[in-house]
């Protein structure tokens, strides 16, 4: 049994290209644009980087992406109301 080393960059690139094709097919066949809404509460730098990377990737493959920032003192009720609004 021999090991096969995978290139993460190549895999990610191929995955994104396939996602682009599927998103385009949804748009052309059904007039549907998939989307992702992310709510970020507070100012955690690592979370912001993570969310921004997801937003950028969505844009690259043609998925609608929305980032909603809420202050750190957001209550559970306010957060649930925002989720309900998005749904």
Cα-based distances in Å from 61 to 4, 46, 86: 28, 23, 22
Whether residue 86 is predicted with pLDDT greater than 90 in this model: the reply is yes
CATH code at 8-86 = 3.40.50.10860
Predicted local confidence at residue 34, as pLDDT: 96
Encode pLDDT of 17-34 as tens digits: 999 999 999 999 999 999
Which residues have CB under 8 Å from 75's CB, separation 6+?
Answer: none
- Taking residues 54-78, what's their average pLDDT? 96
| Rounded percentage of the chain residues whose pLDDT exceeds 70 | 99
Determine how many CB atoms are found less than 10 A away from the CB of residue 37: 14
In the chain, where the domains are located: 8-86
Per-residue pLDDT at 2 exceeds 90: no
CA dihedral 56, 57, 60, 65 (to 10 degrees): -70
């Amino acid at each position: 049994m021999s090991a096969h080393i995978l290139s993460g960059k190549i895999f990610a690139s191929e995955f994104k290209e396939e996602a682009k094709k599927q998103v385009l097919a949804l748009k052309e066949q059904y007039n549907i644009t998939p989307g992702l809404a992310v709510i970020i509460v507070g100012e955690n730098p690592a979370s912001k980087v993570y969310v921004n990377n997801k937003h950028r990737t969505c844009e690259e493959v043609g998925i609608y992406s929305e980032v909603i920032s809420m202050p750190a003192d957001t209550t559970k009720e306010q957060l649930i109301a925002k989720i309900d609004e998005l749904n």
